[in-house]
Amino acid sequence: MKILITGGAGFIGSNFVHYLLEKYLDDEFIVLDKLTYAGRLENLKEVIDEIIFIKGDIFNKEDVEKIGECDVIFNFAAETHVDRSIIDAGVFVKTDVFGTYNLLEYARRYDIEKYIQISTDEVYGSIENESFKETDILDPSSPYSASKAGADLLVKAYYKTYGLPVLITRSSNNFGPYQYPEKLIPVLILNALHDKPLPIYGEGKNVRDWIYVLDNCEAIDFVFREGKVGEIYNIGAGNEKTNIEIANLILEELNKSKSLIKFVKDRPGHDFRYSLDTQKIREQGWISRYKFDDAMRETIKWYKENKWWWKRIWR
Ligand SMILES: NC(=O)c1ccc[n+]([C@@H]2O[C@H](COP(=O)([O-])OP(=O)(O)OC[C@H]3O[C@@H](n4cnc5c(N)ncnc54)[C@H](O)[C@@H]3O)[C@@H](O)[C@H]2O)c1
C-alpha cells in the first residue's frame, strides 16, 4: 500500500510516520510537507531514507499533483497555533480549508481507498460540564478551530456527495517528543529547564484533556483500519488537567521553584474547558495504553536529552 502523510514533518505527523515505519514493513510512505516553521526535517532525521519526502504546499494544486498515485491519505497538514490564528487568520483558511479541498479533489481523481482527516476537539468549542460527543454541533471559538471545523464539514460533504471513503478523527490536546516550543507543554518544560518564567494565561484554570502523542497515533491507525467510513471518532485518554496543574507537575519533576510561574493576560476567546466523550472508539475496541504521569516523565526526559532538536528554535 502507498500511504501519503501530509504534514508528516510536524509534531503528530512525524510521530505517526515513526509509528507506521515500525509497525508496517511492507508499505510505502510518502510525506508531503510545506516545512513551515513547525515542520522540520529534523523530526524525520532517523527515517528520511525510508520514506519519499516531497516539499510541497497543499494549498497549491501543482504541489499536490507531485504526489502521483497513492492508496491512502492521512491529512495532518495544518496551521495549528491558536495565538498565530488570532494575529493572521488568512493562512489558516488557505491551508486548513482550501488545502483540505485540494486533497479531497486529488483523492477523488485517484479513487483512493481511504482518506483520513486529522481534526481536533477544538471544533466543538468549550464545555463547562459533561463532554462532547461526535454528534454535537460545531461551535469553534478561534480562527484556527473555525478553519478546522470548515475542513471537517467539507470532508463530510465529499462523503455524502461523491461517496469518497473518508474518516475524521478529533483528538484532544497531544503532548510528547517533537512538539514545537510554542505549545504549552514544551514551552513550560524548556523554560523551567532554563529557570525562565513559565507563562500561564489568566489564572491558569483552563482545562485541557491531554493525550500522549503515541496513544493518538495508535488511535488514528485504529480508526483507519477498524473505523466505519463516513464516521467521526473522538480520541482522548481522559486526562483533564488545568494549565496550572501542568505547570506545577513539570516544576516538581524538574525540581524547580513554583515561583517561576508567571500569570499573563488571557488570550481573547480563550476556551475554558475541552472535554471529549470517547465511548464510540472505546466501544469499537481502542484503549489508551499510556499513563499520563509516565508519559509526561518520558516527555520531560526527551526534551532534557535532545538539546540538538530544540536549541535553534527555543528562545
Ligand atoms: N497538537 C495537538 O494537540 C492537536 C490536537 C488535535 C488535533 N491536532 C491536529 O493534528 C494535526 C497535526 O498537528 P500538529 O500539532 O502536529 O501540528 P504542527 O504545527 O506541529 O505540524 C503541522 C505540519 O503541517 C505542515 N504544513 C503546514 N501548512 C502546510 C501546507 N500548506 N502544506 C503542507 N504542509 C503544511 C507543517 O510544515 C508541519 O509539518 C493538525 O491538523 C492539527 O489540527 C493537533
**Whether residues 298 and 189 fall in one domain:** yes
Percentage of the chain modeled with pLDDT above 90 = 98
Whether the per-residue pLDDT at 173 is higher than 90: the answer is yes
Enumerate the active-site residues: 121-122, 144
Q: Is residue 280 part of a domain?
A: no
- The domain in which residue 156 lies consists of 2-174+211-235
What is the predicted pLDDT for the residue at 289?
A: 97
The reported pTM is: 0.98
**Whether residues 27 and 160 fall in one domain:** yes
Whether the per-residue pLDDT at 269 is higher than 90: the answer is no
Residue ranges of the alpha helices (H) in 232-291?
243-253, 279-283
Reduced to 3 states, what is the DSSP secondary structure of residue 101?
helix
**Whether residues 16 and 91 fall in one domain:** yes
Q: 209 pLDDT band (50/70/90 cuts)?
A: very high
Burial of residue 268 (CB within 10 Å: 0-12, 13-18, 19+) is exposed
Q: Across residues 166-174, what is the average pLDDT?
A: 98
Question: CA 256 to CA 306: how far, in whole Å?
Answer: 20
Classify residue 163 by its DSSP letter. -
Question: CA 188 to CA 193: how far, in whole Å?
Answer: 8
pLDDT digits (tens, 9 = 90+) for 210-238: 999 999 999 999 999 999 999 999 999 99
Residue nearest to atom 44 of ligand 1 (CA): 120
What is the predicted pLDDT for the residue at 119?
A: 98
**Whether residues 49 and 188 fall in one domain:** no
Residue among 4, 6, 12 whose CB has most ligand 1 atoms within 8 A, to mutate: 12
Q: Across residues 125-133, what is the average pLDDT?
A: 95
Report the atom number in ligand 1 closest to the C-alpha of 180.
20
What is the predicted pLDDT for the residue at 315?
A: 79
Reduced to 3 states, what is the DSSP secondary structure of residue 124?
helix
